[in-house]
Structure 1
Amino acid sequence: MLKAYKEYKASTLPWNNMIPSHWIEQRAKTMYKKENRPVQTKDDVITCFRDGIVTLRKNRRTTGFTEAVQEFGYQGIRKGDLIIHVMDAFAGAIGISDSDGKGTPVYSVCTAKGDYNNFYYAYIVREMAKTGFIQSLYRGIRERSSDFRFEVFGSQLLPLPPRPEQDQIVRFLDWKVSMINTYIKAKKKQIELLKEQKQAIINQAVTKGLNPNTPMKDSGIDWLGKIPNGWRVGRLSQQFEIILSGLDKKSYLNERQVRLCNYVDVYHNDFIIDSMKFMQATASDSEYDSVLLEEGDVIITKDSESWDDIAVPAIVDEPLINVCCGYHLAILRQKYSSKIIPMFLFYLFNARFVQIQYKLKANGVTRYSLGYQAIHDAVLLIPPLDEQKAIIEYIAIRIANIEKAIILNERQLALMQEYRVQLVSDVVTGKVDVRKVKVPEVLDERKEE
């Protein structure tokens, strides 16, 4: 078990009030300098990601970025440099470059003036971000961003343990975080497999029915193939009203207070219920009347930064009190003449043939979006109502244990992620002493990336 240091003293660090008694504090500007290297012809673009990885863009992904027409102000970056993203430092975009390359002028490229472990100080600046301290220095105009220029960074006091201790802290965290990351990776894979198993059950039931021997007929649509006799093909717009919400999380005077069901609520929950902790917002009378959620409404994500997260469904499973649908979402509300039960529609949106339709229609580069017409035109399968009811009951029974396993694994994953964050925080700020911990030889994940 890790133990605390024997003696502590009060610090003047606004984000960490105590440090080990033998540590000192020093201004960042006396420890680091800002480089401004020329770009070399062979340099590829380096990106500083919010998870602290700083690497060649081609090493992770090549899409979803805003490309510069001309690379004005780009600067040389060398392996081992401490990189701070001026605008996204508040969100953790701080790390050590694992490659030589070039970066946008929005990066502060820092090198040590003395004998300091850059990896330790990357941990420290990310800790400053995690505590909200960098965000408190907000000087920018973009929502949820900061302007953490080198001059601002340079004026901050940083803890200064002895160099051997810095090295030991980094070695210890490389070891422990590597072990935790292995567990997290395995747990994510397990959750992914469970979700695939759940989707396979739903997909089979809503596209082929429950009787494997049922006669099939041509659907009339080449890509859809054959469907059970007695089923028909229809358009979403024939069965459900489509309501696009423009209500955001901002609050305005002289508007009524509402609870806001937002993108995250839908993305993380199959069922929207009244006891959920909704965000508080305000709505005008016209907004309130148009996007007030009703029992049986199916809600889908219509905008997302990820193509995979388009048209994720949730269903309002009970009456809600004063809950409105938020921006980036669409409400699908059953028409009086509809031949589709809302719960069956929810399961249809989990089927691959519906998901693929929407993913192909999503427009965008850095952000993907579904317009009204794209939602309107979706092709659906419509079994008789008695079959829909039987399929709904069958799916609920078949996936019950799978859903329990998913919830259990997600809880375990969240706990381990929280433990990783807390462990890093405790070690780099001196709350626990790792100087005498024997660290085995471990693979350096920074090199593996």
Structure 2
Amino acid sequence: MSFPRYESYKDSGVEWLREVPNGWGIKRIKHLFEIKKRISGAEGYEVLSITQQGIKIKDIESGDGQLSMDYSKYQFVEIGDFAMNHMDLLTGYVDISRVFGVTSPDYRVFSVRDDEVCFDRYYLYLFQMGYRNKIFYAFGQGSSQLGRWRFPTEQFNGFEFPSPSIQEQKQIAAFLDRETAKIGALIAEQQRLIELLKEKRQAVISHAVTKGLTPNAQMKDSGIEWLGEVPRHWRVGKCGFYISILSGFAFPSTGFSDDDADTKLLRGINVGVSRLKWDETVYWKRLPNDGLDIYAMQIGDIVLGMDRPLISEVSVLQRLRI
């Protein structure tokens, strides 16, 4: 999608933003928004979760997810407030609340200082872009390896946003509402089409492997409930009559190696749908006469992934040799 250019631009002086149209201002968040911290002091309010799909009412009765022992220590979120999971700039998010409730005191709740200067939906798009494009990430602190890459208050307040006129903010937000709704509808339509195609593909495969390719072939009862009828000239027998089965070897994860000079291991995460994936590859250092030759994969082998209950071990997986 192409956008018309403004007549002239200027350097914003903000590294992540670069040029902005002439006539736009640059303002720090603290001049646009006010951080609030109002502890409820009581139970009984709707508990709000901040998800990457927006603010959701948490079902605290189901027992799913993380639950608090004392929701009276949660902070109020009023309708129209921004609520932000600033504790995790990798998987967190921000949204405007459409319901009154409470959320974790660790989150950041803030509101527009002056609605004649700041249109909330325009800035919501900016905040959400900050997460999606990882703009805020460069200003975060903490340990990203532990999923705690937070946006401290000082950096948050000092962060600079473009500030067009209130009229242009509303025009931009209305344009984005309209265009993103169209794109969302197209995505939903394509996802429905993909699901239908998946069903069709599976139906074609199922029919071909269980009924054959001859439409008028004489059929017989297979004697197997899930299979039903098969062509009369087909034989039906147990898998063991036609294939040999070899269970995998359980390799303790403590012996994994990153050295590609060692033997590559096939693990559960490497077994995808109709293909093997080698995104996360580990290796194993072979020893003389270790007895592992019988577990070696050969071209033409069929691999079935098996779920294992123990995290400490990873199987080379069950192998079926035709």
* Shift in CA distance, 139/5, structure 1 to aligned 2, threshold 3 Å: same
* Shift in CA distance, 46/113, structure 1 to aligned 2, threshold 3 Å: same
Question: When you count helix as a share of all residues, which structure comes out higher?
Answer: 1
C-alpha distance in 1 between matches for 2:25 and 2:260: 53
Q: How does 1:14-413 map to 2 (within 5 A)?
A: 14-39=15-40, 41-51=43-53, 53-57=54-58, 65-71=65-71, 73-91=73-91, 93-115=93-115, 116-141=118-143, 143=145, 144-206=147-209, 213-219=218-224, 224=226, 230-233=235-238, 239-242=245-248, 255-256=259-260, 267=272, 270-272=274-276, 279=279, 283-285=283-285, 295=299, 296-298=301-303, 300=305, 302=307, 331-335=317-321, 341=322
Larger radius of gyration: 2
C-alpha distance in 2 between matches for 1:141 and 1:76: 28
C-alpha distance in 2 between matches for 1:179 and 1:20: 27
* Shift in CA distance, 202/123, structure 1 to aligned 2, threshold 3 Å: same
Q: Deviations over 1:375-411 (max 9, x none)?
A: xxxxxxxxxxxxxxxxxxxxxxxxxxxxxxxxxxxxx
C-alpha distance in 2 between matches for 1:96 and 1:22: 27
Which residue of structure 2 lines up, in the alignment, with residue 4 of structure 1? 5
C-alpha distance in 2 between matches for 1:89 and 1:24: 26
C-alpha distance in 2 between matches for 1:286 and 1:328: 16
State the TM-score, normalized to the length of structure 1.
0.54
- Aligned to 1:146, the other structure's residue is in SS state strand
- Aligned to 1:98, the other structure's residue is in SS state coil
Deviation at 1:170, TM superposition (A): 0.7
Deviation at 1:213, TM superposition (A): 4.5
C-alpha distance in 2 between matches for 1:265 and 1:156: 42
Which residue of structure 2 lines up, in the alignment, with residue 364 of structure 1? none
8 Å CA contact retained: 1:47, 1:103: yes
Q: Which segments of 5 or more consecutive residues in structure 2 lack a partner in the other structure?
A: none
- Aligned to 1:171, the other structure's residue is in SS state helix
Matched residue type, 1:201: V
8 Å CA contact retained: 2:88, 2:149: yes
8 Å CA contact retained: 2:84, 2:94: yes
* Shift in CA distance, 262/190, structure 1 to aligned 2, threshold 3 Å: farther
C-alpha distance in 2 between matches for 1:240 and 1:16: 58
Deviation at 1:134, TM superposition (A): 2.3
Matched residue type, 1:113: R
Which residue of structure 1 lines up, in the alignment, with residue 14 of structure 2? 13
Deviation at 1:283, TM superposition (A): 3.6
C-alpha distance in 2 between matches for 1:294 and 1:238: 13
C-alpha distance in 2 between matches for 1:292 and 1:145: 41
State the TM-score, normalized to the length of structure 2.
0.73
Deviation at 1:261, TM superposition (A): 8.4
8 Å CA contact retained: 2:80, 2:96: yes
8 Å CA contact retained: 2:257, 2:284: no
Percent identity over the alignment is 22
Deviation at 1:188, TM superposition (A): 0.8
* Shift in CA distance, 202/181, structure 1 to aligned 2, threshold 3 Å: same
